[in-house]
A and B are shown apart, each in its own frame.
Chain A
Amino acid sequence: MACKGANMEFFLQLLVNGLSVGLLYGLSALGFVMIFKSSSVLNFAHGELLTIGAFLFLVLVTWARLPIPFAFLITLIGCFTLGFIVERLFLRPLIGESLIYVIMLTVGLASMFKGLLLFVFGGNLHTYPDFLPEGLAIHFGAIYVPPVYVASSIIGIIFLLLFGLFFKYSPQGIYMRSVADNQTASLSLGVHVKKVFALSWAIAALVAGMSGIVLGIINGTNVHEISAIGLKVFPVVILGGLDSIGGAIIGGIIIGLLETFTGGYISPSLRDVIPYIVLVFILLVKPYGLFGLVEIERV
């Protein structure tokens, strides 16, 4: 009996961890999907955006010794601005060029950012000071949810709600969706398509930076490791459907759960492999991903 109870607790523990990590993957994938939807660009520098967020936070917290909430806010603003600047400096001159050049450019950006980060921080593991109050942890019977998972879930849900409202109701959100839907028609109505591209890069960098911070809290920050986690965006978005924002979130949660359950029940060394195997099987059945838009063909 006791054993069964422990099993149940272990299961629930994994479930909670998987959900909160998955939500994080989903959020960071949301940024990736937004760029793809508005401009059809696959951003191979996505993992580096996460890393930049994590290290910016590290600098502000450990070197500049700013108060945590302040450092968090500045990191987000910094990432948002960086997204704008990257679009302006690197992507905009390529508007109208063949997409493959633009995608290769993001590959170049990735190595540039990674090189810079390695130059400044080296390849070692850095850690943030322990700042999350233990009071944030949730004890539920024998289930213990560490503060960082609670915090990341709360932040994740808040951001999700904010983005949901933004896309559904705000004018800019609606313009962004219109550009994703039909660029020529958006232009004909005076939508500033270039501003929409810039905004999607800014938002993508912001959510990526936020995910980077939380991953840094969970695992510590290491240039190679976080940028590798950033690449999980590919299974996530392929699973969810490249062009579906809701799909990105759900794809993220599925990958997060698969990982933690594989790590918990099968073997920690398999946790990074199983998700890809499952992915292949899902894609065999649903080639557009679980939630990929099936073209409305009525028109």
Chain B
Amino acid sequence: MTNNILLQLNNISVVYSDVIQVLKGVSLAVKKNHIVSLLGSNGAGKTTTLKAISGLLKPENGKVTEGSIVYDGMSIQNSAPETITRQGIIQVLEGRQPFKYLTIEENLRVGTATRWTRPYKKDIEMVYSYFPALVTRRKALAGYCSGGELQMLVMGRALMAHPRLLLLDEPSLGLAPLVVKEIFRIIKRINKEQETTIILVEQNANMALQIAHYGYVMENGKIVMEGKAKDLKENPDVKEFYLGVGAGGMARSYRDVKSYRRRKRWL
């Protein structure tokens, strides 16, 4: 049963600049080939959790001070990103972040950094099969592409590395509803066809829980709730705070005593 688990966070704490504690004992487990969604409001620590996994805390002067991160049987907490990416963990950063002065195709080629001696043409074709919209823009500078194209680009760039574990940080941020739908459909396809395990951080809880197998909810640097995606979707707290559906059809109000109490229980 346990060898079914690809990634496990055991009670990790993360501190920035030696003083700012952001994660306070986060534990979660990600099964192979699953999509696991990580929900939570702004500043809850979702991005920090992903960076702890991918090793990108280091350049920001952050550190896992307690607990362990076990990936495929190895402890990887505080390893360098160059090492972690070569184990097959690739993070797609929040806010897209293309290489603006590189063309779409050059951007994709950077995705081969973990295995640069091997040919890349086939991988580019594979990426285009998921994101056909990129084909016509292949020679364009990424700096001049639309938000939707860029989201496809940064996801495609990550796919070039053939990740076993893909960390997606708010892929739907700032995109039109139709594009969001398309992106989520592709995430699901990647998960199925490439057998890529995915951790999906989202504000759009509704969409995320539709494609996820399992979900976690974070508040203030802690996991406050977890469960199967379809159970979470039915959970009244999640409904109220993340799906924007007020309990009993009433307009949601944070001043409402009941929801206030519910919120408190999570902290």
Show the binding face of A for B, using Cβ within 8 Å. Answer: 96, 171-172, 174-175, 177-178, 181-193, 293, 296, 298-299
A296 near B100: Cβ-Cβ < 8 Å:
yes
Chain A residues positioned under 8 Å from B116 (CB to CB): 171-172, 175
Complex contacts, A193 vs chain B, CB 8 Å = 82
Question: A174-B110, A177-B106, A296-B144 are known contacts. Are A188 and B99 too (CB-CB below 8 A)?
Answer: no
Given contacts A182-B100, A188-B56, A190-B82, 10 further A-B contacts (CB under 8 A): A96-B61, A171-B116, A181-B99, A186-B99, A187-B81, A188-B92, A189-B85, A189-B90, A190-B90, A293-B101
Q: Is the CB of B102 within 8 A of A190?
A: no
- Complex contacts, A177 vs chain B, CB 8 Å: 99, 101-102, 106
A108 to B223, CA, bound (A): 50
B109 within 8 Å of A (CB atoms): yes
Whether A185 touches B144, Cβ cut-off 8 Å, given contacts A171-B112, A175-B113, A191-B113, is no
B157 in the interface, Cβ–Cβ < 8 Å?
yes
The 8 Å CB contact of A185, one of B61, B86, B99, B101, is B99
Q: Are B106 and A184 in contact (CB under 8 A)?
A: no
User: What are 20 inter-chain pairs, A to B, with CB distance below 8 A?
Assistant: A171-B112, A171-B113, A174-B102, A177-B101, A181-B100, A182-B97, A182-B98, A186-B99, A187-B82, A188-B85, A188-B90, A188-B92, A189-B113, A189-B114, A189-B157, A190-B81, A190-B113, A296-B100, A296-B144, A299-B96
B158 lies within 8 A of chain A by Cβ: yes
Question: Is B150 among interface residues, defined by CB-CB distance under 8 A?
Answer: yes
Q: For chains A and B in complex, what number of residue pairs have CB atoms within 8 angstroms?
A: 94
Contacts of B157 in A (CB 8 A): 189
What per-residue 1/0 map shows which CB atoms of B153-165 lie under 8 Å from chain A? 0100110010000
Cβ contact of B106, chosen from A174, A186, A293, A298, cutoff 8 A: A174
A189 to B110, CA, bound (A): 7
Residue B190 at the chain A interface, CB threshold 8 Å? no
Q: Footprint of A on B, CB under 8 Å? A: 54, 56, 59, 61, 81-82, 85-86, 90-93, 96-102, 106-107, 109-114, 116, 141, 143-145, 150, 154, 157-158, 161
Say yes or no: A175 contacts B98, CB within 8 Å. no
**Across-interface contacts of B98 in A (CB, < 8 A):** 182, 185, 299
Closest 4 CB pairs of A and B: A190-B85, A296-B143, A190-B114, A181-B99
Q: Write out the residue numbers on chain A whose beta carbons fall within 8 Å of the beta carbon of B81.
A: 187-188, 190
Choose from A178, A187, A298 the contact partner of B56 (Cβ within 8 Å): A187
Hey, which chain A residues are within 8 Å of B99, CB to CB?
A: 177-178, 181-182, 185-186
Identify which of A172, A185, A186, A293 gathers the most chain B CB atoms within 10 Å of its CB.
A185
Per the bound structure, the CA–CA distance linking A174 and B124 in Å amounts to 15
Q: Which residues of A contact B111 (CB under 8 A)?
A: 189
Beyond A175-B113, A296-B141, A299-B143, is A189–B161 a contact (Cβ under 8 Å)?
Answer: yes
> Are A299 and B102 in touch, CB under 8 angstroms?
no
Return the chain A residue nearest B109 by Cβ: A174
Q: Cα distance A190–B163 when bound, in Å? A: 11
Distance to closest chain A CB from B1 (angstroms) = 31
Known A-B contacts A189-B113, A190-B114; the reply to A299 vs B150 at CB < 8 A is yes
CA distance A177 to B141 in the complex (A): 13
Q: How far is the CA of A189 from the CA of B84 in the complex (A)?
A: 10
Q: Please tell me if the beta carbons of B90 and A181 are within 8 angstroms of each other in the complex.
A: no
State whether A296 touches B113 (Cβ < 8 A): no
Which of B61, B110, B141, B154 has most A Cβ within 10 Å? Answer: B110
Q: How many angstroms between the C-alpha atoms of A189 and B102 in the bound complex?
A: 15
Bound CA–CA A295/B61 (angstroms): 27
* Complex Cα spacing A189 to B111, Å: 6
Q: In the assembled complex, which residues on chain A have CB atoms less than 8 Å from the CB atom of B91? A: 188
User: Nearest A residue to B99 by beta-carbon distance?
Assistant: A181
